[in-house]
């Protein structure tokens, strides 16, 4: 049972529920965050049409129940998620929650999807604050840094721009987000993720190879930049099917970097409905998770609850984001925080891990989404 956090506000919070919520330090930021946090991507109608009035109630319920970390981005619904939050956040005490948003990823059109330039970064935070109806955010993050055309842009433009944002009082901490764990390599001695970037320009209808080099992603950023990274956000890497984040946590802790983990059900892999058609997981990952879901159904257990509890019970993970535009689903997720697994559920969980997840050996889809983005970008530029 937790002590009341600094974000507790009498008259707003449900004391009993807040006391049931675990709270953990987020690196060296000084922020003590709820183990379960709220990802507002769903409020942008990213996955389905949503009801803004219900979305407002979801945010209120989340905060009143003890969730004190909310994550959003301009990319989620092209501003809609932030705008919906902007309807409800002014009705809540600013001290009752921490808010993070992002820069760098914006439009659905592939040629306008990413822009990590300093000019766009500075403009983006002002747009976000206006939509959010806030004077500042607690964390400002570079959205999916692995998609940047060059690390030079991140080092020489994006990060210095975020430092200006922080110095201006518009954000308190700086973070990055992405899927590849190696993208968060902070140590010279750690395993290096090498990634080939090929830049193209259109000249008379022909493409020419402008740049081809190995890039040592975040390690290079950290070594070449004097700007401190306070927080990293990664997703689908602290889950039953891929728990490779566990191996990186001690290192992040040694660096004083706070970790935000997202999507404990791996973007629908660990659910009865299964992943969406666009999910980048390989067939072997999909099949193993589908078999696990069926096994859980046969034993009258909710695989999504197992997936969430598996992640939440890892106390070294400061906070895990869940996203929903359903008040019913939010309450269901909150109950998973408050209610331990039954003996039967624990047995099924161990069976699932042993029978279906362990053989995967933390299989992932690193590089798949970046490669697809590059392909689509090339096709668009050829037109």
Active site residues: 76
Q: Which residue has tokens 């994550």?
A: 71
Based on DSSP, count helices (H) and strands (E) in the chain, helices before strands.
13, 12
Burial (0-12, 13-18, 19+ Cβ within 10 Å), 77? buried
Segment (H or E) for 209: strand 206-216
Instruction: Tell me the C-alpha to C-alpha distance, in Å, between residue 91 and each of 15, 57, 96, 291.
Output: 19, 11, 11, 44
Pairing of strands 36-39, 171-178: unpaired
Pairing of strands 231-235, 171-178: parallel
Task: Yes or no: say if 144 and 158 are a contact pair by the CB < 8 Å rule.
Answer: no
Count other Cβ atoms within 10 Å, centred on residue 12: 15
Distance of CA 310 to the CA centre of its chain: 17
Pairing of strands 69-71, 36-39: parallel
Burial (0-12, 13-18, 19+ Cβ within 10 Å), 10? exposed
Which of 288, 291, 269 lies closest to 278 in space, CA to CA?
A: 269
Task: Yes or no: say if 177 and 154 are a contact pair by the CB < 8 Å rule.
Answer: no
How does DSSP assign 305-337, residue by residue? HHHHHHHHT-TTS-EEEE--S-HHHHHHHHHHH
- Beta-strand (E) ranges in 108-170? 137-142
């Amino acid at each position: 049972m937790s002590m009341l956090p600094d974000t507790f506000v009498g008259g707003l919070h449900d004391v009993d529920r807040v006391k049931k919520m675990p709270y953990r330090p987020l690196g060296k930021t000084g922020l003590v965050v709820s183990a379960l946090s709220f990802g507002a991507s769903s409020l942008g109608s990213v996955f389905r049409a949503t009801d803004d009035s219900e979305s407002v109630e979801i945010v209120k319920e989340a905060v009143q129940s003890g969730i004190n970390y909310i994550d959003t981005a301009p990319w989620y619904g092209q501003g809609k998620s932030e705008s919906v939050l902007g309807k409800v956040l002014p009705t809540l005490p600013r001290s009752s929650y921490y808010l993070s948003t992002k820069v760098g990823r914006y439009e659905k059109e592939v040629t306008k999807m990413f822009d990590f330039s300093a000019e766009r970064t500075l403009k983006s935070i002002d747009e976000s604050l206006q939509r959010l109806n806030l004077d500042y955010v607690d964390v400002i993050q570079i959205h999916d840094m692995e998609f940047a055309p060059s690390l030079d842009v991140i080092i020489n433009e994006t990060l210095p721009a975020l430092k200006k944002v922080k110095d201006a009082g518009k954000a308190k901490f700086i973070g990055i987000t992405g899927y590849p764990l190696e993208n968060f390599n902070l140590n010279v001695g750690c395993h290096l993720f090498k990634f080939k970037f090929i830049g193209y320009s259109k000249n008379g209808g022909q493409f020419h190879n402008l740049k081809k080099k190995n890039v040592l992603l975040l390690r290079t950023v950290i070594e070449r930049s004097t700007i401190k990274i306070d927080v990293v956000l990664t997703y689908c890497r602290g889950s039953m099917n891929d728990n490779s984040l566990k191996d990186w946590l001690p290192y992040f802790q040694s660096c004083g970097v706070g970790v935000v983990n997202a999507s404990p059900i791996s973007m629908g892999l660990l659910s009865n409905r299964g992943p969406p058609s666009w999910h980048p997981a390989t067939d072997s990952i999909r099949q193993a998770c589908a078999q696990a879901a069926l096994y859980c159904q046969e034993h009258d257990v909710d695989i999504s609850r197992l997936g969430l509890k598996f992640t939440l019970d890892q106390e070294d993970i400061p906070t895990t984001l869940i996203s929903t535009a359903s008040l019913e689903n939010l309450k269901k997720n909150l109950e998973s925080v408050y209610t331990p697994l039954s003996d039967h559920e624990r047995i099924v969980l161990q069976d699932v891990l042993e029978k279906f997840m362990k053989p995967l050996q933390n299989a992932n889809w690193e590089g798949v989404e970046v490669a697809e983005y590059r392909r689509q970008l090339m096709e668009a530029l050829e037109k």
